[in-house]
Every structure is written in C-alpha cells, then in structure tokens.
Amino acid sequence: MLGGFALLLLLWGGYLWSGQPVSVVVGDQTYPLRIHRLTVEAVLHELRLTPAREDVITPPVGARLTPNGTVTIKLARPVALEADGQKLNWLTHQEGVGGVLAEAGIEIKLRDEVRVNGVTAKIEDLLPEAVVPDSRPVDAAGLSVMEHTPWKIISSIRPEPVSLVVYRAIPLTLNDDGLSSTFYTAQQTVQEALSEQGLTIYEGDRVTPGLDTRLSPGMRIYIQRSIPVMILADGRVIDTRTLPKTVGELLAQEGIALMGQDFSQPEAEQALSPNEVVRVTRVREFFEIEQEFIPFETSWVPDPEMALDRQEVRQRGVTGVIKTRTRIRTENGAEVWRKVEDEWLDQDPNDRIIAYGTRVTIRTLETEAGPIEYWRKISMLATPYNAASSGKDDDHPRYGITRSGLPAGFGIVAVDPKVIPLMTELYIPGYGRAVAGDTGGLIHGKRVDLGFDDGQPLPEIYEWRDVYVLTPVPPADRIRYVLPEWPQWQ
C-alpha cells in the first residue's frame, strides 16, 4: 500500500513539473508558476484568484500565453470612504485625495475638512504610501513557499485600506462674553471648533455646552469669561482665575475660610474686578496672664527662754502675687495691640518670723591645761597666719603689730569683730587659749586666723574647729545673738 502511495506522489509531482513556465507579477513582486493551459484565465484559476472589477490584468483574461510569458496584475487600492453619513468600501487606482473623491462623486465645499487616516489632508495631497503585507513567507525549513501556495500569497498582498473621511462644515454661533459671531467649521467637538478659531479657554471659563460636546448645525456656544485675580493668604500667593463673583465666593472656591474675626481686603461682599488682589488677614485675640511677685519680709524675734544660738521659724514667709490679665490681638501672627483688662492681688505677702535664743548658759570644759568656763561655742573655719604672711614688709613700722596693738604671734588670733569683739579671750582645741586681737581682709563671719610666731613654718590648717568664748559674759547690748551664716560648711 505504501508503495502505491509513493507512486501516486511521484506521478503528481511529475504532472506539476510537466507544465509550461509563466511569471505572475503582482505589485513589485514576481511569482514563477507552471501551468498546462497557457491562458490568463488558467493562471487565475491556478492561483485561485478572483480579481476585483477595478483590478487591471495584462494581458486580458481571455488572452493566450506563450511559454515563459508574463501576467501582470495591478491590484486596486482599498479606501474606506465616509461622507454625508454614508460609508463606502472603495477600490481605486487613484493616487491623490482629490482623485479618489472625484471618482467616488464626492464634492468638497469651502471649509469642509478631509482626514486621511485621522490626519487633516488637502485635496492636492497624495494618499499615504501603501502598506503591503509580507509577500514572501517561508516554511519551517526557511524555504520559500510561494511556488506551492501562490494563491495564499496573492490573497494577502492587496494593500491595507486607507481611511478617508469627509467632515462637512456646519454653521455655529458663538457668544464670547457678550460678543456674538457666526462661523463655519468641520471640527467635531466644541473644544476643537474653539481651538480652530484661535480662542484660548482658561480653566476658570464657563463654556456651554461642554467642551466635549459633539457639534451639530446651528449650535450656539456661549463662553462666560473668567477674570485673573491674586490671593494673598496664609503665607501663600495664589494666582487664579474665576468667574465674576464676590470676594467671599472666590475664597470659598479656593477653599479659604474666614473664621472668627478674620477679614479680607476688599471685604467679602465686594464684587471682584479683573486683576484684583485679595488679602486675607488672620486675626487672633487671646489673654495673657502675668504675675508680679511681692517678696516677704523676715522679722527676728528674741526669745529669752530659748538657748543662745538656737533659732526657730515661728511663721513661714509667703510671697505675695499680683496678677494682670492682658488682651492681645495679632494679625497674621504680628501683634497689633494689647490692653490691660484687669489687675488684682491674687495672694497677700506674709512675713517670715524667726525666733532666736538669748538665754546664755555658762558651762565648764575640761582641757589639758585644766577646766575653763565658757558661755558660747562657735564652729569656725580655721586658717594659719603670722607677721610675715600679713602683707607688710619687715621694715614697715607696723610690721608684726595687730589691730589691737598686741604683737602678732602665737596666741593672737584674727576674727571678725562683728562676731567676736576684740580682746575677747578664747579657747580653741588643738591650739589652746587665745586672745581675739587682730582682724583681716579675708576674715569675715565665722572665720578665725590662728596666729603663729615668725621663724617657723606655718602649719597647713584649713578646717572647721569649735571656738569657745570664755567668761566673763559681756553686757547684752554687746552680744551678737544671730551670727552670720558664712562661710558655709563644705
């Protein structure tokens, strides 16, 4: 069976190659063909091609061919015509826009518009270059298939259709902000027609009907023009356009609200003018509370029942407060005025009362030199000094002479006379008995300078020591009951 099938293929192949060679030219492509009947009709039959009435075939369909003869097929170009509400599928050999329209019997009037493939064209323009599909397909092996399937090639070689649309000019009436005019246009929408007239439409303009509306004969188009304005608000400069309206309506359009005592210049009710500058002022009024403090006084009260050098706060001091309420107004963050609206005593001052002891008690202290009597013990910051460290040269007439007239040296100490009167006898542990016989520029308050003789190194002393004030007790008017608080403990 397989042998019979192979024989059949062989016979069929022989049949094909026993035909006479001819060439078929379609457009700029040439296709070889073998046929057994040398006629143009046989060529078309072999190609399974039914030509359109507008196609041009040379020689004519009824003509005979000679071996190696040529058949030329000039395919008509398809055009998708649209005009006056009709759509036509047209085949033509015309090369220009005007020729196609004339051939189709379509008359072009003044202001009509012709678009080829969506692009505005003139009557004298040529049709765009034909787009022809690839006419030389190959099989999977890369070999040309035009010889064994020519009819498939011919059927796909006709150019792609050209779109040719005629838009008839129609009359329109335009009212542009009160100025009326009539014009013809072949545009399709309101926006295209206005653009054709060279009119600029701003975002704030109002166009009726809308810009996307398709045109119709006799349509009336109204333009209400916006005006340019500037807004200065919240630190911003806004250049915009708006239809004639009031200042308040403009601010609402831009989302700028006037709240509280805010105001605009011009006022919100005023009508806008072209190039108007609208200034928005933000107003803020608030109260500020200020405090003025009245310091309290301190009263010292003697208490004979309280021991000497004891103190007690009998009444705490309270600072007085005067309050002032002030109204402040700002415009755009800058203060424009302030006014005191109220002032009152919010809290009375209250004196602090401190009681101090005046009761003197004589006590006895055992020392290495025997018992001593004292009536006061004061903790004082002790430092050393001698005549050489007192600040005078050794040839100075007052060198080594203390404030009391006594010679400087061991047993003579410098004190603040406001704390311990001069010539008061003292006892200082680690130093011994002493006389308050000198003063010093740095000796203030509870400070004592321990005297030492020249000729020996000064000891390093900087410490707090108890100083005992010995009897007899001086008269009450010579006792400083409240001692200073300096120097402080460290």
Cβ neighbours of residue 325 closer than 8 Å, sequence gap 6 or more: 287, 288, 289, 340, 341, 342, 343
DSSP string for residues in 237-254: EEEEEE-S-BHHHHHHHT
The Cα 389–Cα 403 span in angstroms is: 15
Strands 352-359, 370-385: parallel, antiparallel or unpaired by DSSP?
unpaired
94, 124 in Cβ contact below 8 A? no
pLDDT at 247: 95
DSSP 213: P
Spell out, as residue ranges, where the chain has pLDDT lower than 70: 1-18, 133-156, 489-490
pTM across the whole model: 0.52
| Sign of torsion over alpha carbons 425, 428, 432, 435 | negative
**Residues 376, 467: Cα–Cα separation, whole Å:** 8
Q: Rounded distance, CA 474 to CA 459, Å?
A: 33
pLDDT of residue 489: 64
DSSP 389: G
pLDDT tens-place string over residues 19-70: 899 988 887 788 888 998 889 888 888 878 788 888 899 999 888 988 988 9
Give the pLDDT score at 272: 93
* Strand 263-265 to 352-359 pairing: unpaired
Burial of 297 per CB tally in 10 Å (0-12, 13-18, 19+): exposed
Give CA–CA dist 106/82, Å, rounded.
10
Q: Are 428 and 434 in contact (CB under 8 A)?
A: yes
pLDDT digits (tens, 9 = 90+) for 126-147: 999 887 765 444 444 443 444 4
Measure the CA–CA gap between 403 and 383, rounded to whole angstroms.
Answer: 18
Which domains are seen in the chain, by residue range? 19-74 (3.10.20.90), 77-166 (3.10.20), 170-224 (3.10.20), 227-281 (3.10.20), 286-356 (2.20.230.10), 360-478 (2.40.40.10)
What pLDDT was estimated at residue 155?
53
